[in-house]
Structure 1
Amino acid sequence: MEIPKRLENALIKLYNAFHNDELNPECCSACAVGNILDNHDSWKHLSDKHGSLELSYVGRVHQNLGRKFNGYTPLELLKIEKTFLDACGFKTPLCHYNMKPDNSTDKEMLFNALSEVVALLCSFENIANVMDYSKIFEYEENSPVYKFDAIF
């Protein structure tokens, strides 16, 4: 399967952030979008409310001009961040009195949130979710559809 460059770049950045413990949903430069955008937080001006899908004036201008940031439109970036925050257990848009997880850097929670983000990123590209491993368990007439060389 051919993977578009923007998806490949985003996956590499998210993978590295996750495994280097540099993923933090409460930091605009270390969240999903912050990592995709090379740990810059200027993207936060695309919306007036963190975790909202509503573009700010600045966001609308960039969106209407067709601007992209590391390949993603302002609206796509807001969708990525909202998906990530929601999957982490935050009530969006963020507000100091809204619900948030007890431990926002819990590895299992971050993995599950990244899984949701990867599914979204793949949907942007109109390709199957690269993390969907259900195909390896498909079978026809008691035989696997796909064969793998297993080394044990």
Structure 2
Amino acid sequence: MMKTSKRLEQALVKLYNAYHNNNLNPEDCAACAVGNILDNHDSWKHLSNDHGSLELSYVGRVHQNLGRKFNGYTPIEILSIEKVFLEACGFKTPLCHYNIKPENPTANDVLFNGLSAVVNLLCELDSIENVMDLSKLFEQENGAPVYHLETFLREKALA
């Protein structure tokens, strides 16, 4: 069984709930991926001067240099999560009124793409396999599946 960190487990639960409760919106700092991870607060937006940028603002650099974490994530990790989310949703970053954006930013497929990218990054940050990676399910050896669905799901179950 895969062992997940407390921060990852909490982030996954919050993102899952936000997606299924229609509380995920890439254009709202309190309801985007990071907004949901950070309990629907938008104060994290002061970590950067440009939404969707990886460049820390003065405030962001101070927090980063002091080793501060927000629900387990450093300021640079927070900015990375948001950038990945926005780009996977179809936004050109950093956000600007004339940059490309999805036609319907809150469409389920747009949000799912964003969340898939975020989950992949969150797993990378914790050095674990992507909990959403289903590619092993389709591996074959001599025409037979290498993994069986029940075993695979048990292995992927979060602790």
TM-score interval, smaller chain: over 0.9
Q: In the aligned structure 2, how far is the partner of 1:132 from the partner of 1:149?
A: 15
Amino acid at match of 2:20: H
**SS of equivalent to 2:122:** helix
Q: Which residue of 2 is the match for residue 135 of structure 1?
A: 136
Q: Which ranges of structure 2 fall in alignment gaps of 5 or more residues? A: 152-159
Q: Which ranges of structure 1 fall in alignment gaps of 5 or more residues? A: none
Deviation at 1:147, TM superposition (A): 2.8
Q: Which residue of 2 is the match for residue 39 of structure 1?
A: 40
State the 4+ residue runs in structure 1 displaced beyond 6 angstroms: none
* TM-score, length basis structure 2: 0.91
Q: Which residue of 2 is the match for residue 67 of structure 1?
A: 68
Q: In the aligned structure 2, how far is the partner of 1:149 from the partner of 1:51?
A: 39
Kindly tell me the number of residue pairs found equivalent between the two proteins: 150
Amino acid at match of 2:145: P
Residues 68-99 of structure 1, C-alpha deviation per residue, up to 9 Å, x if partnerless? 00000000000000001111111111111111
Amino acid at match of 1:27: D
Once the two structures are overlaid, the 10-residue window that deviates more, 83-92 or 138-147, is 138-147
The correspondence of residues 81-120 of structure 1 with structure 2, limited to 5 A, is 81-120=82-121
User: What is the RMSD of the two structures over their aligned residues, measured on CA atoms?
Assistant: 1.2
Q: Which residue of 1 is the match for residue 7 of structure 2?
A: 6
**SS of equivalent to 1:15:** helix
* TM-score, length basis structure 1: 0.95
- Equivalent pairs: percent with the same residue? 72
Deviation at 1:149, TM superposition (A): 5.0
